[in-house]
A and B are shown apart, each in its own frame.
Chain A
Amino acid sequence: MMGIYIMIIARPGEIRGIINELRKLEHLDNIAIITGEYDIIAKASLDSMDEVADLTDRVNQIKGIKRTHTHMVEREISL
C-alpha cells in the first residue's frame, strides 16, 4: 500500500468543477479545499506505481487545473 498527496492549483472559478470530477475517481481517501498556496489537497491510497501513474494521469486530464504537485508518502504516523 502506498499513499500519495496530490496538491492542486486551480484556475479561478474552477474549484467546484474540479472537486466534482475528483469525487468520481477511485482510490481517493480525502479531498479538501484549503487556503494558502494550493487550492485543493487530495490524499489517495494505491497498491502499485502503475496505479499512481493512472491516477495522476486522470487527475491531470481534469479541466480547470492549472498545476498539480504529487507527493509520495515515504512514512506516515497517524492516530
Chain B
Amino acid sequence: MRRKHLFYTLVLLSAFMGAITTSLDLVIVEEWVRDPLVYGNSLFIAGVIVCFFFALFLSVKVKGKNLGQAFDPSFNRLRMIRRKELKYHIFSGLGNACSTLAYVSLFTFFTDPSTVLPFYQIVILYLLIIESVSEKNSPTMAELQACITVTFGAIMVSLSLGEINSSGLLIMFLVMNPASAVFSIYQRKLKSLRIDEKSNDSINIRFWNLVFTALFINVILFFLAPNALWDTVLVLRSHFGIIGLNMFISTIAFILFIRSLGMAKASVVQAIRSSSLVFVIPISIALSQFSVANPTFLLIKIMGIVLVVMGILSFSLTEVKSFLLIKTKRGFSVKRTMENVWNIKGIDSVAMVAGEYDLVARVRTRTLGKGYKEIVNRIEEIEGIEDFSWNSTLKEWENV
C-alpha cells in the first residue's frame, strides 16, 4: 500500500473512533457515573482488562500468522515490557494520566461532545513548539499558519451559546494539552524503538501504556480524592459492559494512532486527527445535545470545521523530501563532516557509506526555497565537502 494512503486511512479511522468514544464518555458521565474522576479511573482499569484479552486474542496464530498483524505487521505477541522502553512508558503514562484526569474534569463544565473534543486539538501548538526544540526542525510559515488555522477553527467549533468558561479553558490550556503533548511525543519515541530487530508494535505499546496510566491515575487519586478509589470498584461492578466497550473502541483508535505516529512527525498526525471534529458534529446532533435552535452558533461551528479542514490540508500537502549525495575532501575526517551535516536543520538522517559517495543524507523541508536557504548554504560552508548533489524525491514508497 502506498505509504501516504495508509497513513491518512489510519489517522482518519482513528479520528472517527475518537469521536465516538468522546460522545460515549459524555453520555456515560451524564447518565450513569456522576463523578468524572471515578469515571476516568474506571476507564483505565477496564481498559487494562479489555486490552489484555484483546491482545491475547490477537496473539492467536492462524496459519503461522497472528491476527494482530492485520492491525500492525510488526506485532508478534503480547510480551513483557523491555528495559529500554521503561523510561518512555513512565513519561507517556504520566502524561496520559494527567491529561485524562483534566479531560474528565472538563465534563463538569461542558456537556456537548462537539465542545469538548476540539480542546484536544490544541495540543498541536505544544507539539510544534516541542518539536522545534527537540527535533531541530523549526516550524515554517506554512506550518505555523496551518497550526493557527486549526487552533482557531477548534476554538470556534467549541463555542457554545455565548459563554466562555474560564476555569475550563485554563484546565485545557495548562494541564490537558501539555500533558497530552508529552504523551504523544513519548508514544512516538516508543514506536520508533526497535525490539528484537523489528520496529516496536503499537498493540504492546497501547497495553503497557494503559497499565502505566491506570497506575499513575490511582496514585494521583490516592492523594487527591481517596474516596474515588472505592467508588471506582463499585462503578466497575455495575457498568463494566459499557465502559469496557468504550475502552475497546478507544484502544483500537489508539493502536491506529500509534502506528501512524511511527510514520510522521507528531504534529502532522495530530493535525489530521483534528478531523475527528468533522465526525463529532453528526454524532452530537444524533445525541440531540446540539443547539439546533440557534442557527448562528451552527454557522460558527461549521466555519470552525472548514478552518480545521483547510489547516489540515495545507499541512499535509506541503512537504519536500530530497537526498543529498556528498563527496568529502581527502585529508578531512569524514566523521566530523558527517556530524557537521547532521547539525543542519531539516536533515532527517545521515549515513556514512562505502561506494562512489561518502555520505548520503535525507532532507525533509516544507518548501524547496527553505531547503536552499537553510541547507545548501550551510552545506557549502562545511570545509570537508568536496562536492554534493541535491536529488529531490519525486515519489516515495516506504515499508511500514
Contacts and interface: CB of A to CB of B under 8 A. Distances in A.
A38 B391 contact: yes
Contacts of A62: none
B393 A71 contact: no
A50 interface: no
Contacts of B71: none
Interface stretch (B204-212, B242-250, B352-360): B352-360
Nearest to B350: A77
A74 interface: yes
Given A30-B397, A37-B389, A73 B325 contact: no
A38 B326 CA distance: 14
B352 A32 contact: no
A77 B356 contact: no
Given A23-B397, A30-B399, A71 B391 contact: no
Contacts of B397: 19, 23, 30-32
Interface string B339-364: 10010000011111111110010100
A28 interface: yes
B302 to A, nearest CB: 38
A69 B393 CA distance: 18
A32 B395 contact: yes
Nearest to B394: A33
B31 interface: no
B360 A78 contact: no
Contacts of B389: 36-37
Interface residues of B, number: 33
B354 A78 contact: no
Contacts of A41: 323, 391
B355 A36 contact: no
A74 B391 contact: no
Tell me the interface secondary structure of chain A in the complex. Answer: strand
Interface in A1-58: 1, 3, 5, 7, 19, 23, 28-38, 41, 47
Contact of B394 (A1, A3, A5, A35): A35
Given A71-B357, A72-B355, A1 B395 contact: no
- Categorize the interface residue count of chain A: 20 to 34
Tell me the interface secondary structure of chain B in the complex. Answer: strand
Contacts of A5: 351, 353, 355, 360
Contact of A69 (B322, B338, B355, B394): B355
B135 interface: yes
A72 B360 CA distance: 11
Interface string B291-331: 00000000000000000000000000000011101000000
Contact of A1 (B197, B391, B392): B197
Contact of A28 (B197, B349, B399): B399
A70 B360 CA distance: 12
A71 B392 contact: no
A34 B354 contact: no
Nearest to B192: A79
B396 A31 contact: yes
B163 interface: no
Contacts of B355: 5, 69-72
B390 interface: yes
B393 A73 contact: no
Contacts of A30: 396-399
B325 A74 contact: no
Contacts of A29: 398-399
A10 to B, nearest CB: 13
A75 B354 CA distance: 10
A77 B352 CA distance: 9
11 contacts: A30-B398, A30-B399, A32-B397, A33-B393, A34-B393, A41-B323, A69-B355, A70-B355, A73-B352, A76-B350, A78-B348
